[in-house]
Structure 1
Amino acid sequence: MVTLNRIYTRTGDDGTTRLATGDPISKTSPRVAAYGTVDELNSVIGVARLHSGQNDRIDAALGRIQNELFDLGADLATPSEPAPKWEALRIVDAQVERLESEIDVMNESLKPLDSFILPGGSALAAHLHLARTVARRAEREAVGMIEAGHAATPAALRYLNRLSDWLFVAARRANANGADDVKWVPGATR
């Protein structure tokens, strides 16, 4: 378990932070941007949970996802080269597969899509759509991290990709199983 006795350390006052390995890195590094966006996503999901009301299933799944996002942040904050001196916490395929299974179950009761969906409907759905867009940005940041020469585990990227899909389907479920979805009407205001 992590113990935090002091919140401020002053070590980041020079524009650097430390990776899980203890190595210093610029706060503008693509790696820091990726796990920072995962942290932002976790916060957005926390706000969404304020609106989960009596939807115990979605709320419980979001709570689990918040914990997994800390795992994902640890994964992204731990370079694979050089190998850390401990077993690094990594996202595993089973976590991705769980998201896929839950997407399939949630999607079974939804009406087929006949238009693009605008973020909105219920408060929970709107916040889940916001979380979906932050998840997509986190995924782009993780890809950018790789393109900048920082390694990431394939499962971490797959997790972010599936999570944004999960959040989309959960938003539709939060909108009375899609009945209250706000649909895009192309050219409606011309």
Structure 2
Amino acid sequence: MKIYTKKGDKGMTGVFGGKREYKNSARMECLGTLDEANSTIGLLRAKLENDHEWQQGLHRIQKDLMDMMSHLARPSVSTKENRNPHPEDGAEFCEEWIDQMENAMSSPSDYFILPGGNEISALCHMCRTQIRRGERTLVGLMQEDPECVYDYIMSYVNRLSDLFFTMSRAEMDKHGVAEEKWNLFLYKRKKKS
């Protein structure tokens, strides 16, 4: 079977269940953005040593993103069953990993951080911002087809951006690289007032 079908040459593409949509639809924008994020996570994994402590968790996230994208690709009006698993425990998985990293760091995070530091930290920020964009496109898809965006997907994607922020900090902390702080988090400022 050839990779090219020529069916998309007029700006339409197939979705789960056989329906066709324009390539700039809310669904395609969402799927494309999450696919970009997944590719950047793949780049992050490629930059890490094969036995790095993050490899297994990042691999799970990549597979979970593929499963979630398969469910988002299925319009709620489709009668075709999607047998891919629902990674419903993804938000909790992220929270446990975040807590573990934060407990191991030398200082808590009270500030917005300028992205950078070193290559791995900067890649974590790239993952974070692409995931955030994916979250915004999820909202657009939810407004168009609310029944196809499961609650766990919104929670998981929201938590992923927190995870990648924490990973960037953990990487800097591990290598003794000082964070470039920008501003105190708003909720922290209110507490100090």
What TM-score, normalized by structure 1, do the two folds share? 0.86
Query: RMSD over aligned Cα, in angstroms?
Result: 2.0
Deviations along 1:124-162, whole A, 9 cap, x unmatched? 110010110000000000001112345311111111101
1:133 and 2:164 correspond: no
Identity %: 34
For residues 174 and 32 of structure 2, the distance between their equivalents in structure 1, rounded to whole angstroms, comes to: 32
Displaced runs of 4 or more, over 6 A: none
Aligned partner (choices 72, 76, 82) of residue 80 of structure 1: 76
Please name the residue that 2:153 is paired with: 156
Matched residue, 1:89 = 84
CA deviation digits over 1:78-132, x for unaligned, max 9? 12234x3324435332122111111111111121124321111121110010110
Evaluate the alpha carbon distance shift between residue 90 and residue 81 of structure 1 in structure 2; reply closer, same or farther with a 3 A threshold. Answer: farther
Report the equivalent of 2:55.
59
Code of the residue aligned with 2:172 in structure 1: it is: N
Q: Which amino acid aligns with 1:71?
A: D
| Structure 1: distance between partners of 2:182 and 2:21 | 46
One-letter amino acid matched to 1:85: K
State which drifts further: 88-97 or 71-80.
88-97
Give distance in 2, aligned partners of 1:97 and 1:109.
Answer: 19
Aligned residue for 2:24, secondary structure, equals coil
In 1, Cα distance between equivalents of 2:23 and 2:111? 40
Give the paired residue count: 181
Looking at structure 2, the residues matched to 38 and 18 of structure 1 have their Cα atoms a distance apart, in angstroms, of 17
CA contact (8 A) 1:172 1:181 kept: no
Structure 1: 5+ residue stretches without partners: none
Instruction: Give runs of aligned pairs for residues 1-190 of structure 1, distance below 5 A.
Output: 5-53=1-49, 56-82=52-78, 84-89=79-84, 91-110=86-105, 111-151=107-147, 152-177=149-174, 179-185=176-182
Q: Secondary structure at the match of 2:16?
A: coil
Whether the aligned pair in 2 keeps the contact of 1:74 and 1:90 (CA below 8 Å) is no
What is the alpha-carbon distance in structure 2 between the residues aligned to residue 79 and residue 65 of structure 1? 23
For normalisation by structure 2, the TM-score amounts to 0.85
Please state whether the residue corresponding to 2:156 is helix, strand or coil: helix
**TM-superposition CA deviations, 1:11-45 (whole Å, max 9, x none):** 10110101111111111100110011010001111
Give the distance between the partners of 1:50 and 1:59, measured in 2 at CA: 9
Larger helix fraction of residues? 2
Q: Give 1:93's aligned amino acid.
A: E
